Amino acid sequence: MTEKMIAHSGVEICTESFGDPEHPAVLLIMGAMCSMVYWDEEFCRRLADTGRFVIRYDNRDTGRSTVYEPGQSRYGVPDLADDAAAVLDAYEIGQAHIVGLSLGGMIAQVLALKHPGRVRTLTLIGSSIFGSDEPARDLPPMDPKILDYHAGGSAVDWSDPEAAAQYLTEGSRLLCGPKRTFDEQRVGRQVRQEVSRARNLLSMYNHALLRGDDAYEGRLGEIRVPALIIHGTNDTALPYPHAEALAGGLPNASLLPLEGAGHEVHPDDWETIIQAIEDHTAGV
């Protein structure tokens, strides 16, 4: 497993792959403000061990991919969907099974609409409907505790890697479900890896400026590929009704609740999630 930098349309995207390139491809798309390291390496290897070729990558403004000065980005979710398609191009993959977490699931929806020939199946974890039209705007909002915590980010000494890591680790704690144990040591290792490899850590906040696109809103019913919705029943970032709305709006969807889980891919759920992805992508 080694990093591979790809370039398209003036953008660099940092990627990594796991497994045999001859196996069916699974592209993992991470959520907002997080690099690919939050697709845990062990999780990726175990998914690859099911006979899948697994690719993870850094979205723009995270990790080692192209970053913009904080507050200066001018791209939107459709551009991030183009990045995903470019990753597939770089690995010479025509079609892939797409797995998106949170914002990554919304990128996956736009990918399926903008580049429909590239998507074999969708797996949307802890995600929601792309856009702000009906019924998305009637869904419950993020827990104010999360917003209040991140409002304090301006007080963090971001030039101090340890201070930044502690702040981000505690932010992750807020997303852990009440029936899951928060593994501070494991999360801390991921966060420190995130801090150490970022081109500009604060650029991750540019994801708060992401633009939508009316051309892709209200079109969930056009996505005909098999879709698996995986969602923690105690998700405080995107509460469980978001999963129900996705499952109800996608014509060919199934819903897998993770009882007591939060907004996370928790190690306690890896076996369940990996088995579900294996079953969902088999023979498609």
Q: What is the pLDDT of residues 177-222, one digit of tens each?
A: 999 999 999 999 999 999 999 999 999 999 999 988 889 999 999 9
Catalytic residue among 102, 127, 128, 203: 102
Answer yes or no: 266 catalytic.
no
Answer yes or no: 263 catalytic.
yes
Task: Name, in order, each residue with C-beta under 8 angstroms of 213's C-beta and a sequence gap of 6 or more.
Answer: 76, 77, 78, 110
4-133+199-283, superfamily in CATH? Alpha/Beta hydrolase fold, catalytic domain (3.40.50.1820)
Q: What is the pLDDT of residues 114-172, one digit of tens each?
A: 999 999 999 999 999 998 766 667 899 999 999 999 999 999 999 999 999 999 999 99
Q: Tell me, what's the pLDDT at 233? A: 98
CA 8 to chain centre: 21
Q: Kindly give the residue spans of alpha helices, DSSP state H, lying in the chain.
A: 41-48, 77-90, 103-114, 144-151, 161-173, 184-197, 241-249, 270-281
SS3 8: strand
Instruction: Report pTM.
Output: 0.97
What are the extents of the domains in the chain?
4-133+199-283
Gap between the Cα atoms of 79 and 87, Å rounded: 13
Answer yes or no: 154 catalytic.
no
Is the sign of the CA dihedral 176, 109, 240, 97 positive or negative?
negative
Catalytic residue among 97, 263, 266, 280: 263
Catalytic residue among 73, 235, 242, 266: 235
